[in-house]
A and B are shown apart, each in its own frame.
Chain A
Amino acid sequence: MSEFFKKYIALRRHNFRVMLKKAKQRKMCYLFLAPYAILFAMFFVFPVVASICLSFTYYNILETPRFVGFQNYIKLILEDDIFLISIKNTFMIAIITGPLGYILSFIFAWLINELPRWVRSVAVIVFYAPSIAGNCYVIFSVFFRGDAYGHANALLMNMGIIDAPKLWLIDPTYMLPICMLVILWMSLGQGFLSFVAGLQGVDRTLLEAGCMDGIKNRWQELWYITLPSMKPMLLFGAVMSITQAFGVCDVTMALCGYPSTDYAARTIVTHLFDYGFSRFEMGYACAIATILFLIMILCNKAIQSLLRRVGT
């Protein structure tokens, strides 16, 4: 046994020395990488670690952090009803808009794939524009305005469906559906672009071969040829849409106000802002951030292992 360990350590030491030598040869690589690596460590790696550490403390910026164990988490899950509402809302939004937005991105990318070149580029602009149009979603607050001048109210009143204007963005029953609608409208984002580009790169000879081998319609072609050859893009698109789906806050804050009536449009990120930057309970806010972080990473891993089975 001890001999085994000795060998193991010797091997390790040897590997380490080889690595060091290689690293010395490639000194300039590290120089090129350094600016990015330092900034990345400072604004992405370190904050995640710090956030996890701070989540076990009570910290209000003025005093030094005080260790409180799991108290923040216990309070979050057992006592904070508003957090539970925000979790519910976030999951509702994520479960509906995430997969739907992802599938829509793919379907539209696939449908416009066969259009002539210039039509395709116009179509890409039209579909992609909402997600880069910045704060264009605030126009929906005019559209769904609570008085009779709002388009939604005017339209429904003219058609005789409702007789008094509805408070679309103030009444909790309509808030979430409207937010989801707006998020779906914006969901053809980077994943969509990736799909469009990926579909262009699918090998034509494969399609011809499939035709010879007895693929009959476009659905079979999609499942057996197109999807498997796009797997990397599918993974990329999934990462993008999960990240977006769980990070929802801009739309709900802009449309339904912050805080919204009865917290009906509160999401995890809104809750995080509330505790972090309104109440300055940084430890508590970090606990929220850590939970959000775990949800996102786990979700991504799960979806990725699911997507690897596509087309097999």
Chain B
Amino acid sequence: MSKKKTNPSQEVYRKKLLRRRKPNRSIAGDIVLYLFLVLVALIMAFPIVYAVGSALKPLDELFKFPPTILPKHPTLDNFSDLFVTMGKSWVTFTRYLFNTVFITFMGTFGHLLVASMAAFVLAKYEFPGGNTFFKLVTVAMMFTGYVTQIPNYLILNKLGWIDTYWAIIVPAFASPMGLFLMKQFMEGLPSALIEAAKIDGASEWTVFTNIVMPNVKPAWMTLIIFSVQALWNNRASIYIYSEERKTLVYALQQIQSGGIARTGQGAAVLVVVMIVPIAIFIFSESQILETMASSGLKD
């Protein structure tokens, strides 16, 4: 946090009381807590480790009794099977992969742009209706998307977007969560920065693209991870019915319903599906936490 100037007397106090241990903590309590945390972390990580383990298992190990958790002879056969055996079906695995990547990329990009533009004016300018609008957005965070699914279907149908990628991409632009986080984060940006740029003759758009956006990069990452998480895992079975436009998660379900023989491949798709959001999160964790620090919901 911010470093404050400390006068000598405070310095003494710090040394005596706080240098070695934080106040109000006992060593025994700390040890118990750490043990507990390690235990819970193992339980939390187990299913994911198990999923990765099964994806690497050769066929004979998948059906051993008693079942094992980690493979003895790890192979990548299941992954290559995905491309080889499914390469022969009329919608190939790469096509499912492309659909999901395309939807995720377009949806996230549009969401980032549209939500940041709105968040910028909501955070930095006072204008009639602005606060009311923001309150509406926070109310929208309070119910799930399932509530609006049926009218959404009817609207998308009127627009003629059913069975196209846009049926998933465009509604994702308006996700309330992204706007909320972006606005809260932009409020922390000093207004003097914007005013200085205006005095130098910058237009609103230049202020937005050259001053505001480069300064809220942590919030970008947060919007990206939440948007990717929602779109990457989108099954899209309601809005899209053509096989060649279905997504990876849908393919995953198909493979799993293929029964016992497809168990290994099912686990492999599972790993493909989950690796992307987790990887993005690992790389951007500190920035996401920085954004979430301003995520509080004020009255």
Q: Provide the bound-state CA to CA distance between A306 and B101, in Å.
A: 42
- Tell yes or no: A128 within 8 A of B by CB: yes
Q: How far is the CB of B200 from chain A (nearest CB, A)?
A: 17
Contacts of B299 in A (CB 8 A): 308
Q: How far is the CB of B141 from chain A (nearest CB, A)?
A: 6
Residue contact A239 to B142, C-beta cutoff 8 Å:
yes
Pick the interface stretch among B42-50, B71-79, B83-91: B42-50
Interface centre among B17, B263, B292 (most CB of A within 10 A): B292
- Tell yes or no: A201 within 8 A of B by CB: yes
Q: Provide the bound-state CA to CA distance between A216 and B23, in Å.
A: 9
Residues 21-35 of A at the B interface (beta carbon under 8 Å): 22-23, 26, 28-30, 32-33, 35
Residues 90-147 of B at the A interface (beta carbon under 8 Å): 114-115, 117-118, 120-122, 125-130, 133, 136-147
Residue contact A154 to B270, C-beta cutoff 8 Å:
no
Residue contact A232 to B297, C-beta cutoff 8 Å:
yes
Residue contact A47 to B263, C-beta cutoff 8 Å:
no
Contacts of A246 in B (CB 8 A): 144
Contacts of A203 in B (CB 8 A): 1
Residue contact B297 to A32, C-beta cutoff 8 Å:
no
- Tell yes or no: B12 within 8 A of A by CB: no
Pick the interface stretch among A5-13, A76-84, A136-144, A167-175: A136-144
Residue contact A133 to B118, C-beta cutoff 8 Å:
no
Name the one of A197, A208, A215, A286 contacting B18, with C-beta atoms under 8 angstroms: A208
- Tell yes or no: A126 within 8 A of B by CB: yes
Residue contact A50 to B146, C-beta cutoff 8 Å:
no
Which range contains the number of A residues in contact with the other chain?
A: 35 or more
Interface of B: prevailing SS:
helix
Residue contact B41 to A136, C-beta cutoff 8 Å:
no
Q: Provide the bound-state CA to CA distance between A139 and B25, in Å.
A: 40
Name the one of A26, A138, A221, A242 contacting B142, with C-beta atoms under 8 angstroms: A242
Residue contact A39 to B114, C-beta cutoff 8 Å:
yes
- Tell yes or no: A45 within 8 A of B by CB: yes
Contacts of B297 in A (CB 8 A): 232-233, 235-236, 239
Residue contact B127 to A43, C-beta cutoff 8 Å:
no
- Tell yes or no: B252 within 8 A of A by CB: yes
Residue contact B118 to A236, C-beta cutoff 8 Å:
no
Pick the interface stretch among A67-75, A95-103, A106-114: A106-114
- Tell yes or no: B214 within 8 A of A by CB: no
Residue contact A136 to B51, C-beta cutoff 8 Å:
yes
Q: How far is the CB of A15 from chain B (nearest CB, A)?
A: 10
Residues 4-47 of B at the A interface (beta carbon under 8 Å): 17-18, 22-26, 29, 33, 36-37, 40-41, 44-45, 47
Q: Provide the bound-state CA to CA distance between A47 and B148, in Å.
A: 5
Q: How far is the CB of A234 from chain B (nearest CB, A)?
A: 8
Residues 225-257 of B at the A interface (beta carbon under 8 Å): 225-226, 229, 232-233, 238, 249, 252-253, 256
- Tell yes or no: B191 within 8 A of A by CB: no
Interface centre among A47, A200, A216 (most CB of B within 10 A): A47
Contacts of A127 in B (CB 8 A): 41, 44
- Tell yes or no: A48 within 8 A of B by CB: yes
- Tell yes or no: B278 within 8 A of A by CB: yes
Q: Provide the bound-state CA to CA distance between A55 and B264, in Å.
A: 45
Residue contact A32 to B127, C-beta cutoff 8 Å:
no
Q: How far is the CB of B125 from chain A (nearest CB, A)?
A: 5
Q: How far is the CB of A168 from chain B (nearest CB, A)?
A: 14
Q: How far is the CB of A14 from chain B (nearest CB, A)?
A: 14
Closest 10 CB pairs of A and B: A232-B296, A247-B144, A36-B118, A47-B151, A47-B148, A197-B292, A211-B23, A39-B174, A197-B293, A133-B274
A-B contact pairs, 18 of them (CB 8 A): A33-B118, A37-B133, A40-B136, A42-B155, A47-B152, A51-B147, A135-B249, A135-B270, A136-B270, A136-B274, A137-B47, A139-B47, A142-B54, A149-B65, A185-B44, A233-B295, A236-B295, A276-B150
